Amino acid sequence: MNNTLKTIGIALASSIVTIGGYRMLGFEGKDVIFNEASSPTSINRLANFPGGGAVPGDFTYAAELSTPSVVHIKAKSSRMVRQQRSIFDDFFGDDSPFGMPRGGNQQQESSGSGVIISNDGYIATNNHVVEGADELEVVTSDHRSYKAKVLGTDPSTDIAVIKIEGSNFPAMAFANSDNVKVGEWVLAVGNPFNLESTVTAGIVSAKGRNIGILAQKQQQMYRRYGDDRQQRTSDAIESFIQTDAAVNPGNSGGALVNLKGELIGINTAIASPNGAYAGYAFAVPSSIVKKVTADIVKFGNVQRGYLGINLVELDSKRAEEVGSKVSEGIYVADVIDNGAAKAAGIQKGDVIVKVDGVDTKSGPRLQEMIGRKRPGESAIVTVSRDGKLRDFDVTLRNRDGGKDFLKKEVASANSTFEKLGIDLGELSSVDKQKIGVSSGVVVKKIYDGDIADYTQMREGFVVLKVGEKKINNINDFKAAIKEAKENGDEGVMICGTYQSASRTTCYGLSLE
């Protein structure tokens, strides 16, 4: 990765980042009624002047039409914070008395933007705007305030859906982001630095831009699952619209619109060395936003189709490395045994050049085209094989290789455990005898998460009890944490020992 991309960061909603996990609601089972653009996206608002020059036209129409549909989102959260180390830490060692962290709950606030996508109060925003929020307030452009609830999120695209109660809200019309042209004038609408209803102008600088930031966040999340998931390929979809319209913290989740005031993207990230706008911003295309939000409302989670290949994006150098006679497209480095591509007849060595008749010669573009579809839906994949183009009718599958939709309960069943950020291991009878215990599980690895945030637990800790529950295996541990959470407990004691210690140590863990 070059030096420019090293400076790219998520355009966080404010200088204070929300902490913790979001609250998920039940299955909605309905469709979103979107406002669709009635004509192609592009619109020419350039006034020609003598000498052949041109200047941008009047932006007021797009600003007036789109601003009422963009809301200000205020997020509140609380987390337990440890105090700074003191001389007493050196006296007591790493563990404070009774294993409790020193500090207390601290209220935090952040803000961002959102776009009303249906007249009955569904709002699209970024996952990182609402992530960790205990309470959400939505303020509309006419300064009415509403309490909002999170319906679901998709970290793979950094899109979330929240809901406010009411009717006749000014929903923004969706444009087809496929029709967006590089060089086209666009407006970014949002609430940067808590400045409500701010509009900035720029052009589309590039399309299908992959900056690697969502994949990086997802790999950090995967590490919390343990070694069996660390090597999983990221399914983050990054095919951003790049713009030079000014986007700053607080614009996250706001609208990128064309000169007809139609949604072409959700502003998500900025390229910056210091967290503020430095010339380029990135938006999730409206085609992805529409698919993700519709799935979240209807199913509770995103139903994403998978092709089932390992790919290499070709250029002349990579084509030579893999022995491909084609120097542009997506080289199929391997096909997954139970994947959709193999079942359709696509082979290792094929080069994908189109999906559904649309040129698909970059990795981000392929991810976007396939990511718009659900398991069981078909895609016509055009490949180059032995110098000839061939079409394959591919029935996409889910990540597990099936054609069924993944239930929300399956997708989120382990979310509480995942938030802890630990990898547990079973103890053999030899291990138990060596340590001097009859039960327990060992903490093999500690990643970023609640354990690291709220306790001073170290790797190698042997968990014997969670609350009053004796822990014999990993399933016991998960069940005890889940039970405490479902009972509404604010926290739980995790007690155990270290192999080199003869005493029991307990850690207090907040579950809020």
Which residues are paired to 83 by β-bridges? none
Same domain for 418 and 352: no
Which residues sit opposite 137 in a β-bridge? 74, 147
Residues 272 and 382 in one domain: no
The three-class DSSP label of residue 432 is helix
Q: For 465, list phi and psi in degrees, rounded to 5.
A: -145, 145
Residue 102's pLDDT is what? 43
Based on the domain organization, do 386 and 293 belong to the same domain?
Answer: no
Which of residues 248, 280, 299 is at a domain's end? 299
- The pLDDT value given to residue 300: 86
For 436-472, letters b (16+ CB in 10 Å) and e give eeeebbbbeebbebbbebbbbbeeebbbbbbeeeebe
State residue 149's pLDDT score: 94
Q: How many angstroms separate the CA atoms of 433 and 452, rounded?
A: 28
Q: Is residue 403 part of a domain?
A: no
Spatial separation of the C-alpha atoms in residues 189 and 187, rounded to whole Å: 6
pTM of the model: 0.69
Structural domain that includes position 203: 3-299
Verify whether residue 72 is a known catalytic residue: no
Q: Which two tokens stand for residue 345?
A: 């007849």
Is 294 in contact with 28 (CB distance < 8 Å)? no
Task: Quickly count: other Cβ atoms within 10 Å of residue 487's Cβ.
Answer: 10
- The C-alpha atoms of residue 495 and residue 507 are separated, in whole angstroms, by 6
Query: 408 in a domain, yes or no?
Result: no
Overall domain count for the chain = 3
What letter does residue 191 receive in the DSSP assignment? -
366, 418: one domain: no
Q: What's the pLDDT score for residue 503?
A: 77
- The CATH number assigned to the domain holding 367 equals 2.30.42.10
Cβ 22 vs Cβ 131: under 8 Å = yes
- Alpha-carbon distance 288 to 270, whole Å? 19
Identify the domain boundary among 280, 299, 318.
299
Question: 296 near 151, Cβ under 8 Å?
Answer: yes
Task: Answer whether 460's CB lies under 8 Å from 435's CB.
Answer: no
Beta-carbon neighbour count of residue 430 at 10 Å? 8
Q: Which residues pair with 204 in a beta bridge?
A: 243
User: Which of 14, 128, 177, 287 is an active site residue?
Assistant: 128
Q: Are residues 330 and 289 in the same domain?
A: no
Question: Is residue 359 a part of any domain in this protein?
Answer: yes
> Across-strand partners of 423?
445
E strand intervals along 11-144: 35-36, 46-48, 54-56, 70-82, 103-116, 122-126, 135-139
Residues annotated in a binding site for substrate: 128, 158, 250-252
Query: Minimal CA–CA distance to 23: which of 195, 188, 169, 163?
Result: 163
Three-state SS for 97?
helix
Q: What percent of the residues of the chain are helix, what percent strand, and what percent coil, each to the nearest 5? A: 25, 35, 40
Regarding whether 362 and 442 lie in a shared domain, the answer is no
* Angstrom distance (rounded) from CA 492 to CA 28: 32
The answer to whether position 407 is within a domain reads: no
Burial class (CB in 10 A: 0-12, 13-18, 19+), 334: middle
* Residue 191 sits in the same domain as residue 223: yes
Find the DSSP H helices in 104-240.
127-130, 213-222, 227-230
For 462, the enclosing helix (H) or strand (E) is: strand 462-466
**Residue pair 178/265 in contact by the 8 Å Cβ criterion:** no
Show Cβ contacts of residue 335 under 8 Å, excluding neighbours closer than 6 positions.
308, 309, 310, 341, 342, 346, 347, 348
Given 95, 134, 154, 158, the catalytic residue: 158
Examine the domain organization and report whether 60 and 141 are in the same domain: yes
Does 461 map to a domain? Answer: yes
406 domain residue, yes or no? no
On whether the CB atoms of residues 116 and 253 are closer than 8 A, the answer is no
Are 24 and 141 within one domain?
A: yes
Residue 293 lies in a domain: yes
Give dist(CA 498, CA 100) in Å, integer: 16
Which residues define the annotated binding site? 128, 158, 250-252
3 state DSSP class of 103: strand
Domain end position, chosen among 236, 266, 299: 299
Tell me which of 77, 205, 252, 287 is the catalytic residue.
252
Domain shared by 94 and 162, yes or no:
yes
DSSP-derived secondary structure for 122-179: EEEEEHHHHTT-SEEEEE-TT--EEEEEEEEEETTTTEEEEE-S-S---PPEEP-GGG
Question: 296 by DSSP, 3-state: which?
Answer: helix
CATH number for the domain including 26? 2.40.10.120
Active site residue 239: no
Mean pLDDT by 10 residues, the chain (512 residues): 36 32 43 73 42 58 96 80 36 34 60 96 95 90 96 90 96 96 96 91 92 58 40 64 94 96 95 78 95 93 91 92 92 93 96 95 90 94 95 92 69 59 88 87 85 83 92 91 82 85 80 70
Q: Return the sign of the alpha-carbon dihedral for residues 160, 69, 238, 10.
A: negative
> Do 91 and 178 share a domain, yes or no?
yes
Find where tokens 């609830």 sit: 149
- Spatial distance between the Cα atoms of 380 and 120, rounded to a whole number of angstroms: 35
Are 334 and 255 within one domain? no
Q: Quick check: is 400 in a domain?
A: no
